[in-house]
Amino acid sequence: MLERIQLPLPAIGRVLSDFGGVYAANAIVAFLFAASGPVAIILAVGASGGLSESDLSSWIFGSFFVNGIITILFSLLYRQPLAFFWTIPGTVLVGPALGHLSFPQVIGAFHATGVLMLLLGLSGWVRRAMASIPMPIVMAMVAGVFLRFGTGLVHAFRDDVAVALPMTAVFIALSIAPRIARYVPPLIGALLAGALAVWLLGSFRAPPGALFSFADPTLYQPQWSWAAMVELVVPIAITVLVVQNGQGMAILSASGHQAPINAITVGCGAGSIVTALFGTVSTCLTGPVNAVISGSGAKHRQYTAAIAVGVLALAFGSVAPLLTRLMLGAPPAFIATLAGLAMLRVLQTAFIASFRDRFSFGALITFIVTVGDVTLWNIGAPFWGLLIGIAASWLLEREDFKHPAV
């Protein structure tokens, strides 16, 4: 059921000849996005869930190093810009779960999610599975779990306005200056402004030990918990297959690429099983990174930008402890502001997709239940939000199930 790869594989000389300045620039911008706000989200979720510095460092290693290998492999096999990283909505789902589940139990759910996606990819049922769940209800769950990052941005102004204000001001200034933002993305500008503010204020507090060190990832023994499986496996799989992969494939399609959906699903499943060994949330086909690397240049050469992203990810993952200590040494408002700014557009998109037209009542119920954050039978609110929202739509919006999505 897997899509056929392009043989023969390109030699190193061919890859280098296809590479060029525009693809290098796109790769750097795309990678900097992945290495800024999304990493801040990992740290925010992990810190709130009580994870240690070594846990977070291992998570970041898996996010970059393992997914960098997958990115390089798939881009070579299919001669397309196929960049893989980790699911941001899935990461956010883990935050509340760590309040009542142990990290090994969550890791067990990561493994199970990987197995589920691997089987779906090999079976060829992915398109059918993606079409069976109403997207507005899924996005309402996403909006519900993302909302706390928006409120966290507001709280950052209350807690440390000297850091939050310049970061937000630079983000807004670059957002309304698209010509400059093409070279300095707003999120990167916010990160630099925050780093400067932290340095000027002298509020950086380095954790004990050497600041620089190479990655020494932890191999985790998973624990199997039915509560963790019920709460996390299906919601994380949905965020990967429907939200993240769906977005990434739509972006690639708009750029003229025909993404190999079954192979991508298999890659996400196998990759998730491997990254879970290091305590990393599930692998996905990333939307924003693929949007940048497929946005310009000749279509048949864009795969080289993805390979460059993969190489940068390998290097970054190799020094994951350095990044972790730098970020953890900054004041909490720095991470909260960076994560909040990174989530604003995603949160906006989630609300628009949830309440635009179809399944709007079910989406509202899903959002309310998810934000309510009530755990029942040791199973977190996002799962109940999905379940109750779909039930509400089935009872009160049955006509929406009879018409295909538009």
Structure token pair of residue 11? 């030699």
Give the pLDDT of residue 73. 96
pLDDT tens-digit map of 283-308: 999 877 888 788 778 889 999 999 99
The span from the CA of 175 to the CA of 170, in Å, is 8
pLDDT tens-digit map of 128-179: 776 677 878 888 887 887 788 788 899 999 999 999 999 999 999 988 988 8
Q: Is 404's pLDDT higher than 60?
A: no
- Residue among 348, 370, 110 nearest 228 (CA): 110
Give the pLDDT of residue 406. 44
Task: Kindly tell me the sign of the dihedral angle through the C-alpha atoms of 345, 351, 357, 363.
Answer: positive
Q: Is 221's pLDDT higher than 90?
A: yes
**Are 43 and 53 within 8 A, CB to CB?**
no
Bigger pLDDT: 342 vs 153: 153
Residues in the chain: 406
Q: Give the three-class secondary structure for 406.
A: coil
Q: Taking the mean position of all CA atoms in its chain, how far away is CA 111?
A: 17
- Residue among 195, 220, 206 nearest 54 (CA): 220
The pLDDT mean for the chain works out to 87
The span from the CA of 369 to the CA of 363, in Å, is 10
Question: Rounded to whole angstroms, what are the CA distances from 380 to 99, 134, 138, 141?
Answer: 9, 20, 15, 12
pLDDT tens-digit map of 252-261: 877 788 889 8
Q: Taking the mean position of all CA atoms in its chain, how far away is CA 246?
A: 13
Structure token pair of residue 210? 């050497």
pLDDT band of 272, cuts 50, 70, 90: very high
